[in-house]
Structure 1
């Protein structure tokens, strides 16, 4: 069997109104678990180790879960299942009427983070809501400067701006979903590698339910190096093609799609695309131009999919 379960003592008697669902692979979620455990609310936590195969990390997470006052379960997988399938598996263990998908490298920005979500559930019972990103708790590091600049420009947006394109700003890092919505629309397990499975899910859901955006942010602590960003973009090209095929009318409104279409007409992409990447990775170049080059590199990759 691929999964092993570990429950803490409060799990058996838990009657949660909110299930917090946290996947990880290699990252240590213990700090996040400790933070969430400080809120005395009607919530449970389900953690999925998606095939890390690190006995020491498993022991630390189990010890943290055992110490939590909130009901908590650890699901440990012997083999990696991936982002979409892993989150679908998390839902199969959830018992509440609403799910909060929260990445393991996030840190709530308020001491009543879960309480705010529960108040929203009590008042509005939203089908879907996204709380937002921030960088408030991240210490600046030179090797993460490019990611910080890019995230600040496109990801760390207030709710008022995200509502302009609600399905576009749906990420599983801080996402509330009602049980009946997820029962009708789960994550597409055809996605592989990194990227787009959550945005594609948002596109499907937006056809049937409103997507609410609020300001209940968590800091994204896991900023990447420039080389890691480039590698993730390279992984995501096939996923982008899958989204284009499923939702052409929506994707055509995105700037990344329009730029990719323009670049598709440009000759010799195999020659100039590596040069754009090299500039984006150059730590001595001005940060704004590096960020532009990285976005252009992503569009050049996506040109193969449009």
Structure 2
């Protein structure tokens, strides 16, 4: 009845798989755990993950080449044999000991996608990781009621349950660059196809915190991808908050000023974001001014 699908790349997923397997083994659920490695380079990590193959109904397979975040998720779904698919990112860990049961007990005929949410550990990390931690706690670790206010916009693909026949119709876009926002497009497609999305409280911890410098780099890459998405009609400005704000400032001719702000104050913005007390306002402004800057160069 349940296929657990975990893509990984240079990350030790054995603790995650072992915990999920232990929970499943205490139930009468029919299950499989499928893990695909996107051609990792770290041999020590591969060796750790190969222990997964010793667990009943669990497999760990290394792909012969790197195929990217979208294709590997679609491939996992194609290999799955059960009606319900539980996607888990490599760097998460269930909070509750009855994590699997909570998901399964939510299943009903009218349910199509179920999202349990994520949490971040309370202890503040080292300075080099603090930006990603603050962003996660303020923007991602939301209550069920907060998520329901913007149901699809606040859906993340780190941990979600989906019916296989639904995923066959709405899967991850393989035509986009292997950069960012494949989850944004997926959520947007769910919305436009009117797929029923249910929010529950069944979180996972997000453990794999990028460094602040790395997170800034990924965030700016994401802005570049958004320009491409808007240009190719993959998203409408109102689909995402930053593009919605961008459309408004452009309407009133403020985009030119914001573009200049990026060139004038970009280094100042980055200095704040690399500090031990980064501002989410500065983070948003940095991305918005960069979006205006890129648009002006088109």
TM-score by length of 2: 0.86
- What is the alpha-carbon distance in structure 2 between the residues aligned to residue 154 and residue 226 of structure 1? 16
- What is the alpha-carbon distance in structure 1 between the residues aligned to residue 74 and residue 291 of structure 2? 27
Q: 1:27 aligns with which of 4, 11, 15?
A: 11
- What is the alpha-carbon distance in structure 2 between the residues aligned to residue 273 and residue 25 of structure 1? 36
Q: 1:265 aligns with which of 256, 260, 276?
A: 256
- What is the alpha-carbon distance in structure 2 between the residues aligned to residue 237 and residue 119 of structure 1? 38
CA contact (8 A) 1:138 1:219 kept: no
Q: 2:272 aligns with which of 253, 272, 280?
A: 280
Q: Deviations over 1:134-185 (max 9, x none)?
A: 0137663322222211111110001111111111122220111111111111
Q: In the alignment, does 2:61 pair up with 1:75? A: yes
Kindly state the Cα deviation for residue 243 of structure 1 after the two structures are TM-superposed: 4.0
Q: In the alignment, does 2:281 pair up with 1:296? A: no
Kindly state the Cα deviation for residue 293 of structure 1 after the two structures are TM-superposed: 1.6
Kindly state the Cα deviation for residue 18 of structure 1 after the two structures are TM-superposed: 1.2
Root mean square deviation of aligned Cα? 2.2
Aligned to 1:135: 120
Q: In the alignment, does 2:110 pair up with 1:110? A: no
Kindly state the Cα deviation for residue 128 of structure 1 after the two structures are TM-superposed: 0.8
Q: In the alignment, does 2:176 pair up with 1:187? A: no
Note closer, same or farther for the CA distance 1:95–1:125 as it changes in structure 2 (3 Å cut): farther
Q: In the alignment, does 2:114 pair up with 1:126? A: no
Kindly state the Cα deviation for residue 283 of structure 1 after the two structures are TM-superposed: 1.7
Unaligned runs of 5+ in 1: 1-16
CA contact (8 A) 2:133 2:209 kept: yes
Note closer, same or farther for the CA distance 1:219–1:38 as it changes in structure 2 (3 Å cut): same
Kindly state the Cα deviation for residue 54 of structure 1 after the two structures are TM-superposed: 3.1
Unaligned runs of 5+ in 2: none
Kindly state the Cα deviation for residue 82 of structure 1 after the two structures are TM-superposed: 0.9
**Count of matched residue pairs:** 282
CA contact (8 A) 2:238 2:244 kept: no
Kindly state the Cα deviation for residue 276 of structure 1 after the two structures are TM-superposed: 4.2
- What is the alpha-carbon distance in structure 2 between the residues aligned to residue 67 and residue 25 of structure 1? 20
Kindly state the Cα deviation for residue 227 of structure 1 after the two structures are TM-superposed: 0.3
- What is the alpha-carbon distance in structure 2 between the residues aligned to residue 298 and residue 57 of structure 1? 34
